[in-house]
Amino acid sequence: MLDLLAPFMLRAYVAIALAGAAASAGSVAVLRGISYLPAEASHAALGGVSIAVFLGYVISADVDPFYFALLFSASSAVLVAYAGGRVDRDSINAALGGVMAVSLAVYALLRALVPAQFKAIIDGYLVGDILLLTNKDIVQLAVTVTVAIFFEVLFYHEIVYICFDAEGAESMGINVKFYDYLMFFLVGLSGGLMSKVFGSLLVFALVMAPAAAARMFSPNVRAYLLNTVALTVTLGFAGLFLSVLLDLPTTGMIAGLTSGAYLVSLAYSKASRGK
């Protein structure tokens, strides 16, 4: 029988808790109307990882791809904010597509230029496995989440204000452009972090599905953020235990539960409105 207190399981517990804390960025993305940004940022992380691995291969050095993943995911999100403008969602969506295309092109090209053993490192960010995280990975994730949450809490009121009424915030003297860029940066950072924990392919299901589900039963913004975190952590642990019990992929099981939670919430919301 599997030891639930084995070191790799303990690391998985911590990673799920950290991912849950970072999932609040998904709620911010929904409020801002940039729901696809976490997924775009996680795919941009693939480009950063590919560059790091290729660079390490060329110079025969150990280059940590995690930092490149964060750099590319966060910078790509800021680039989307710059290219898309503040209120034009069509421009933002176009910028999302363009930046993702560039990132995936870099990923595909550089992945083809490295030997098979290096491809495995890159693919670890494409389809992640939370059970393979190391102590170093946990420390890196913890530091990144702490930084992201610090700024999110510090500028909570400004970020929420801008999400709902950017023009009103500007008239109040708030530097809307700065906080908008900060918002995109934090969402992008969370997307890159999630690619390390769960893999880029399933980031949308693991970040946006809980956020979308939590929105349907949250009475206010603060409750919405907390419900998103709670739902992500709860389903994360449930998916982990079920995957171990049924001998199924952990990330896929968690993604299935979060997607199911969204569908149930959607059905309940529709049924409630129909009464």
- Going from N- to C-terminal start, the domains of the chain cover 7-201
Q: Given this model, what pLDDT does residue 140 score?
A: 94
Q: Which residues fall within 8 angstroms of residue 186, CB to CB, at 6 or more apart?
A: 25, 28, 148, 151, 152
* Domain 7-201: CATH architecture, name and number where available: Orthogonal Bundle (1.10)
Report how far apart, in Å, the C-alpha atoms of 49 and of each of 68, 71, 140, 169, 198 are. 6, 10, 15, 37, 15
Angle between helices 89-111 and 65-84 (to 10 degrees): 150
Which is higher by pLDDT, 86 or 60? 60
87-143 pLDDT, tens digit each: 566 778 788 888 888 889 999 999 999 998 899 999 989 888 899 999 999 999 999
pLDDT over 70 for what percent of the chain?
Answer: 96
Q: Given this model, what pLDDT does residue 201 score?
A: 84
d(CA 13, CA 153) in angstroms, rounded, equals 24
pLDDT over 90 for what percent of the chain?
Answer: 53
d(CA 128, CA 91) in angstroms, rounded, equals 31
- pLDDT greater than 80 at residue 242: yes
Q: Which residues fall within 8 angstroms of residue 36, CB to CB, at 6 or more apart?
A: 93, 96, 204
DSSP 206: I
43 close to 103: Cβ distance less than 8 angstroms = yes
178-228 pLDDT, tens digit each: 999 999 999 999 999 999 988 888 888 888 899 989 988 888 999 999 999
